[in-house]
Structure 1
Amino acid sequence: MVKKIEIKKRLTNKEALDLIQNASLLDLGKMASERKQELHPLNITSFIVDRNINYTNVCWVDCKFCAFFRHGRDDDSYVLKFDEIDEKIDELLEIGGTQILFQGGVHPKLKIDYYEDLVEHIHTKYPQITIHGFSAIEIKYIAKVSKISILDVLKRLQAKGLSSIPGAGAEILSDRVRDIIAPNKMDSKDWIEVHRLAHSINMKTTATMMFGTVETDEEIIEHWELLRDLQDEMHGFRAFIMWSFQGANTQLLKEIPDIKAQSSNRYLRLLAVSRLYLDNIPNIQSSWVTQGSYIGQLALNFGANDLGSTMMEENVVKAAGASNRMNQEEMIRLIKDNGSIPAKRNTAYEILEKY
C-alpha cells in the first residue's frame, strides 16, 4: 500500500487506486487533513448563502439518473417568468445571499437571445448577485440551436453578466459510463472542452463528480485525471464537489435495480483520495445535501474545507429522494463543533465575514 509519507508527491493513478481499495479510512482522513492544512493553514471552513434557481425543468436529454426533468408536453413542465425569478432573488437578498446557482433542463427551443435577455435582466436589476450558471451541456446546446460556436455563447453571456459556470453534467467522465446512464448527453471530451473554453476567457468554473452508478474505481480516477490535467493547463477550476447517486424515482434504478446506495464510508474514502489526487484544485466542498448534515460535517475531517451552500432552494436532488436542509446558523454551529472558524464567502471563495 502507498505509505503515508509518500503522499507529499503527486499521486499516480496506481497509487490513488491503491488508496481507494486498501487504505484504512482513518489513515485516509489523516492524510487528507494534512493536505487540507497545507492548502488552508488558517483553519477556516467556508460556506456560501445562495439559492438554486431552476429556470426550466424542460429537457430533451433524458438522463436516466435524473428525476427532475420533464418534456415540454408534460402538464408540470415550466419555464419561469422573469418576475418569478425576481421574487426568488428578492427572498434570497432578504437572508443575505450573494449568489444564484442558475440551471435548467436542456430546453430544446430556447436560443441565445433568450439567455442573453435573462442574464442581462438579472445582472442589471441585481448587480450585487453573482450569477453562477448554465452547465456545460446547456452551453453546448445553446450553441447548437443558435448556430454559433460554444466560445461565442460564453463570450456573449459573459458580456451580459454571467460570472462563472458550475460543474454539473460531469457525472463520471468516462464515456463507457455515460453511454449507460445518459446516452444522449455530451461525451467527456466535450465537457472538458466547454470548461477549457470558459477558462480561456477568464471565466472560472467548478468541477464535480457523481459516483455510485456503474463506474469502476479506475473510471473514478480517469475522471480525476481529466480534471487535474485541465487544471494544470488552464488553472480555471475554483473547487471540486462530489456526491453520490440519489436513485429514487429515476429510470436508471428501474433499469439496473441492483445499483446499491453508497455508504458514508465510501463517500468519505473517495473524498479523501480526491483531496490527495487533485493537488491543484484549491477547494473541496462537502456534499451535505446528499450525505446529510453530520456526514457533511465529518467530511471536514476528510479533506473538505468548504461546507458548500445553504441552498435556500434545491429541486434536482430532492426529486431523486434526498431532502436534507440546513440554514446559515446550523452551518456555523457544525463548523464550530468541528473545531474550525466559520466564514461566509462569495463565489470566488473570498471571505466576507467570519463568525
Structure 2
Amino acid sequence: MKSQQLKKILATSSSGNRLTADEGVALLEHADLLTLGEMANGMRKRLHPEQVVTFIVDRNINYTNICVNKCTFCAFYRESGDPEAYLLSKDDIFRKIDETIAQGGTQILMQGGVHPDLGMEYFEDLFSAIKKRFTIQIHALSPSEIFFLAQREKVSIQDTLKRLKAAGLDSIPGAGAEILVDKVREKVSPNKIRWRQWAEVMKTAHGLGMPTTATMMFGSIESGKDIVEHLVRLRELQDDTGGFTAFIPWTYQPANTKLGGRPATAVEYLKTLALSRIMLDNFPNVQASWVTQGAKIAQVALEFGANDFGSTMIEEN
C-alpha cells in the first residue's frame, strides 16, 4: 500500500468516517500491526472514554454434542450412536447452574450440536424449568439450532423465537457465523445454514426485542476479502436493527478436525481484531478471546480495539 493511500485511510478513520470494504481489505493486507492497533485503540477510546473493561461470570453448558451438521472445522460434534455422544439430563444441567450461581454467575450460555431428535417442546420445557428454579439469564441456541427447530416444527422463525422467548430465552449467541460468505461456508460447514439464513434469524430476534451477539471464526480457508465481507454484512445488519450487543472474533482451532490446517498466529489475531473494531463502528462492544489466545494476548487485545473480556467461562468444551 502506498503511504499516501494509508494516510488517507487513517484520516478517514480518525475523523470518525466509515471505511469502505476496499479500504478494509487494504488495511488488513498492507497495514502493519501497530498502525492497525493504534487506529483500533483510538476508536475504542472514542466509544468508551470511561476506560473500563467489562466481563461477565457465566458458564457454557454444551447440552449435547450430537449434531447433524458435521462441520469440517469442528472437533466437538459426534454422530448419534457414537460412544462419545451425549445429551445432558435436566438434573445435570440444574447441577451446573447451581454451581454457576454459587460462584457468582449471572448467566448460562447454552448451545450444542443440532440434535435431530430435540424439538420445540424439549427446549420450552427446559427453559421454563430453569426459570422456575433459578434467577439467571438464559443466553442460548445459535441461529443454526433455531433455524433447524423452525424447519423441524414446520413453523416460521418468528413463531419459533416467540415460543422460545415465552419459555425463558433471553438472548441469542452469535455462534455458527464462521465466515458469512457462502463459498467459504460450503467448504467449512456444508450442511449448515447459509449466511442469509443466519442473518434472518438474527434480524427476526432483534425485531422481537431479543439482543444477540455476533461472532467470526477466521484462520481456516477464508481470504482477507472474505473477512471484510463478513464485517460489512454485520455492519449493515446492525445499521438495520441495532440489536447486536457485542462482536467476538476468534481463531479456528485445527486440532482433531477434518479440515486440518495451522492455527492463526497472535499477530494475525490482533490484526483481525483491530480491523473488526475499525470496521464495526456501530457495534458497542468488541470482545477479546482469552479462551483461544490465552490471557496474555487477550490483555494485549485491550490495546487493539477490545473493550470487553468476555466471560470467566466456568466451563467450556
**TM bucket normalised to smaller:** over 0.9
The aligned residue for residue 11 of structure 2 is 5
Please say if residues 53 and 309 of structure 2, whose CA atoms lie closer than 8 Å, have aligned partners that are also in contact: yes
Distance 1:154 1:194 in 2: 9
Please say if residues 254 and 262 of structure 2, whose CA atoms lie closer than 8 Å, have aligned partners that are also in contact: no
Alignment-mate amino acid for residue 224 of structure 2: D
Deviations 1:198-232 (A, max 9, x none): 00101010000000111011111110111000000
The aligned residue for residue 96 of structure 1 is 104
Give how far 1:109 is off.
1.0
2:182 is matched with which residue: 175, 183, 189?
Answer: 175
Distance 1:217 1:9 in 2: 22
Distance 2:291 2:215 in 1: 14
Alignment-mate amino acid for residue 206 of structure 1: T
The aligned residue for residue 153 of structure 1 is 160
Aligned partner of residue 243 in structure 1, secondary structure: strand
**1:59 and 2:67 equivalent?**
yes
Distance 1:20 1:171 in 2: 18
Give how far 1:108 is off.
0.4
Aligned partner of residue 284 in structure 1, secondary structure: coil
Give how far 1:2 is off.
2.8
The aligned residue for residue 271 of structure 2 is 269
The aligned residue for residue 147 of structure 2 is 140
The aligned residue for residue 122 of structure 2 is 114
Distance 1:104 1:270 in 2: 27
Alignment-mate amino acid for residue 233 of structure 1: D
Aligned partner of residue 271 in structure 1, secondary structure: helix
Alignment-mate amino acid for residue 6 of structure 1: T
Give how far 1:76 is off.
1.9
Give how far 1:78 is off.
1.3
Distance 1:146 1:81 in 2: 22
In the superposition, the TM-score normalised over structure 2's length comes to 0.96
The aligned residue for residue 235 of structure 2 is 228
Distance 2:11 2:19 in 1: 12
In the superposition, the TM-score normalised over structure 1's length comes to 0.86
Give matches, 1:31-46, under 5 Å: 31-46=39-54
- Where does structure 1 lack aligned partners over 5 or more consecutive residues? 254-258, 316-355
Q: CA RMSD in A?
A: 0.8
The aligned residue for residue 323 of structure 1 is none
Please say if residues 109 and 145 of structure 1, whose CA atoms lie closer than 8 Å, have aligned partners that are also in contact: no
Aligned partner of residue 301 in structure 1, secondary structure: coil
Give how far 1:79 is off.
1.2
Moved over 4 A (4+): none
Distance 1:157 1:296 in 2: 34
The aligned residue for residue 72 of structure 1 is 80
Deviations 1:219-257 (A, max 9, x none): 11110111000000000000000011001000111xxxx
Deviations 1:18-48 (A, max 9, x none): 1111112111111111100111110100111
The aligned residue for residue 207 of structure 2 is 200
The aligned residue for residue 328 of structure 1 is none
Q: Between Structure 1 and Structure 2, which shows a larger proportion of strand residues?
A: 1
Give how far 1:260 is off.
2.7
Alignment-mate amino acid for residue 313 of structure 1: E
Give how far 1:148 is off.
1.3
Matched length: 309
